[in-house]
Chain A
């Protein structure tokens, strides 16, 4: 089985810590979305996984092995990483031929992949004349050339038209259903919401949360009280994120529903409603990534969702 594992991975460039003690697992048979704001460290984490960048500490493995130990990389891991990793003066077909030569893949597979991504008509044109979507399709064709069981994709939906997005969604679902490991970063939250079984969220290089999307979406609490302000302060100090909902209720994430009730009770705050609340991925994402991932020790304001606790104890 091809599980991807990050174990205490830390990576710095100069004095800037880009990834900080990152630990999580990506399971086969699932589509795992990798989320985070720009500069959160997603691409760097993928580069560490693929041995394009070396970790300062920790290790990232694919099926228990470093990428560089993979004997047949093209048939093991398909990668879309750099959106423009093509020579603009080379044709799409020749780009794939170069990769197929290096990986010892039969030339017939090139035509198959061009057909599959809908690029046959443009295969002999220079990549420099391709649109972003066409380059993305070519990148996907390259990733799938060796029919690998693991896919590591950085923003694979970028520039794709709705048909392309649909095709990609079906493809990734199919791969995961066949037992493959699909690990993809994306900024298109609605797409991730449709596609991902699990998500991993980074912010400022640190793991914010990870878990099953369905569970995480249920992890909020809706609270009604006359003492909204003191309760907000109380829960925020306990590490929760609190914001006002559309109907004047407080939406609390980061601590469990029981803890919300217990803390309010201990503080003598009367609650008029305390109920579980589902949230959209966008709402959750904004909550997760608005948390300061480097809290100073005195305030202790850290995100402490159950999935995160689980992740940190891996």
Chain B
């Protein structure tokens, strides 16, 4: 009997039985290594290590949420678009002809995958920085509360990014197209919007995740959470509608 739980389990198995998550994990290790190297070897203009001198500086350096959203969006886009590329969407919809159920199961798995990768990324970044700090005159200054906030923000960003990418992929159904669109929407459009409309600067993902991570307070936390949530919900809903209406060819 086809059940929601079974479908989600199948979708999780899809994600864990290819090299896709390992590729992203390798990229995260590189990023964490770079962060650690920056702490160990980089200096400010005056030759000091002032950029890690305070808890706020360290929190800002370790805030991984924005990167997590971008990375997870690519993860979500590839995970879903390749289903169309490899035609594995055919057995998916044959197993669950109720497409809403099938797509929601897929989204749930991709969201969990994105969140988990983001969490691991944050853990590696924090670990890298913590290991590099003893090479400076500064200790690890983040409190438990700060860390919880960082991890929560990054995990949330991973889920949002994955949902955003998955929604785009369901709409576009092509890996190259979905990845390019995700990249353009997250990297190119927000800075352009911020340049054209000064007030838009507070509402782009970077700024919103700075708020959620506790690094800035440009807008309220709830406003930031809701706005960031919309980044995933809107494309995911559009993808869901498109999947209902289109033929599987």
User: What residues of chain A have their CB less than 8 Å away from a CB belonging to chain B?
Assistant: 47, 50-54, 67-68, 70-75, 77, 79, 81-82, 84-91, 94, 97-104, 142
Q: Which of A50, A53, A88, A100 contacts B249 (CB 8 A)?
A: A53
The answer on a CB contact under 8 Å between A102 and B90 is no
Tally of B interface residues using CB under 8 Å: 30
Give the nearest-CB partner of B7 in chain A: A102
User: What residues of chain B have their CB less than 8 Å away from a CB belonging to chain A?
Assistant: 1-3, 6-7, 9-11, 13-14, 17-19, 82, 86-88, 90-98, 105, 247-249
A51-B97, A102-B10 given; name 20 further pairs at CB < 8 Å. A47-B249, A50-B94, A52-B249, A53-B247, A71-B2, A72-B1, A79-B94, A85-B87, A90-B14, A90-B17, A91-B17, A97-B17, A98-B13, A98-B17, A99-B95, A102-B6, A102-B11, A104-B1, A104-B2, A104-B3
Q: In the complex, what's the smallest C-beta–C-beta distance from B71 to chain A, in angstroms?
A: 20
Q: With A99-B10, A103-B6 as given contacts, are A88 and B86 in contact (CB-CB < 8 Å)?
A: yes
Q: How many A-B residue pairs have CB under 8 A?
A: 99
Q: In the complex, what's the smallest C-beta–C-beta distance from A148 to chain B, in angstroms?
A: 11
The answer on a CB contact under 8 Å between A82 and B249 is no
Q: With A52-B247, A82-B87 as given contacts, are A101 and B9 in contact (CB-CB < 8 Å)?
A: yes
Q: Which residues of B contact A98 (CB under 8 A)?
A: 10, 13-14, 17, 91
The answer on a CB contact under 8 Å between A73 and B2 is yes
Kindly state the separation between the CA atoms of A104 and B2 in the bound complex, as whole angstroms: 6
Q: Which of A70, A81, A142 contacts B97 (CB 8 A)?
A: A70
Q: Report the 6 A-B pairs with minimum CB-CB distance, sorted nearest first.
A: A101-B10, A102-B10, A53-B247, A68-B97, A85-B87, A94-B17
Q: Which residues of A contact B10 (CB under 8 A)?
A: 98-102
Q: With A53-B249, A94-B13, A98-B14 as given contacts, are A82 and B97 in contact (CB-CB < 8 Å)?
A: no
23 residue pairs of the A-B complex, CB under 8 angstroms, read A47-B248, A47-B249, A50-B94, A50-B97, A52-B247, A67-B97, A68-B97, A68-B98, A71-B2, A73-B2, A73-B94, A73-B96, A84-B86, A87-B14, A87-B18, A89-B19, A100-B10, A102-B2, A102-B7, A102-B10, A102-B92, A103-B1, A103-B95
The answer on a CB contact under 8 Å between A47 and B247 is yes
Give the nearest-CB partner of A72 in chain B: B1
The answer on a CB contact under 8 Å between A86 and B1 is no
Q: Which residues of A contact B86 (CB under 8 A)?
A: 84-88
Q: Which residues of B contact A99 (CB under 8 A)?
A: 10, 91, 95
Give the nearest-CB partner of B19 in chain A: A89
Kindly state the separation between the CA atoms of A104 and B98 in the bound complex, as whole angstroms: 16
Q: In the complex, what's the smallest C-beta–C-beta distance from B152 to chain A, in angstroms?
A: 30
The answer on a CB contact under 8 Å between B13 and A101 is yes
Kindly state the separation between the CA atoms of A99 and B17 in the bound complex, as whole angstroms: 13
The answer on a CB contact under 8 Å between B249 and A73 is no
Q: Which of A52, A74, A77, A89 contacts B90 (CB 8 A)?
A: A52
Q: Which residues of A contact B17 (CB under 8 A)?
A: 87, 90-91, 94, 97-98
The answer on a CB contact under 8 Å between B247 and A71 is no
Give the nearest-CB partner of A75 in chain B: B1
Q: Which of B2, B98, B249 contacts A74 (CB 8 A)?
A: B2
Give the nearest-CB partner of A48 in chain B: B247
Kindly state the separation between the CA atoms of A52 and B248 in the bound complex, as whole angstroms: 5
Q: With A47-B248, A52-B248 as given contacts, are A97 and B95 in contact (CB-CB < 8 Å)?
A: no
Q: Which residues of B contact A73 (CB under 8 A)?
A: 2, 94-97
Q: Which residues of B contact A97 (CB under 8 A)?
A: 13, 17
The answer on a CB contact under 8 Å between A87 and B88 is yes
The answer on a CB contact under 8 Å between A85 and B90 is yes
Q: In the complex, what's the smallest C-beta–C-beta distance from B235 to chain A, in angstroms?
A: 23
Q: In the complex, what's the smallest C-beta–C-beta distance from B6 to chain A, in angstroms?
A: 5
The answer on a CB contact under 8 Å between A102 and B87 is no
Q: In the complex, what's the smallest C-beta–C-beta distance from A125 to chain B, in angstroms?
A: 13
Q: Which residues of B contact A47 (CB under 8 A)?
A: 247-249
The answer on a CB contact under 8 Å between A85 and B97 is no
Give the nearest-CB partner of A79 in chain B: B94
Q: In the complex, what's the smallest C-beta–C-beta distance from B201 to chain A, in angstroms?
A: 41
The answer on a CB contact under 8 Å between B2 and A85 is no
The answer on a CB contact under 8 Å between B6 and A52 is no
The answer on a CB contact under 8 Å between B18 and A102 is no
Q: Which residues of A contact B11 (CB under 8 A)?
A: 102
Most chain A beta-carbon neighbours within 10 Å: one of B13, B86, B92, B94: B94
Q: In the complex, what's the smallest C-beta–C-beta distance from A109 to chain B, in angstroms?
A: 14
Q: Which residues of A contact B247 (CB under 8 A)?
A: 47, 52-54
The answer on a CB contact under 8 Å between A87 and B82 is yes
Q: With A72-B1, A102-B7 as given contacts, are A81 and B90 in contact (CB-CB < 8 Å)?
A: yes
Q: Which residues of B contact A90 (CB under 8 A)?
A: 14, 17-18
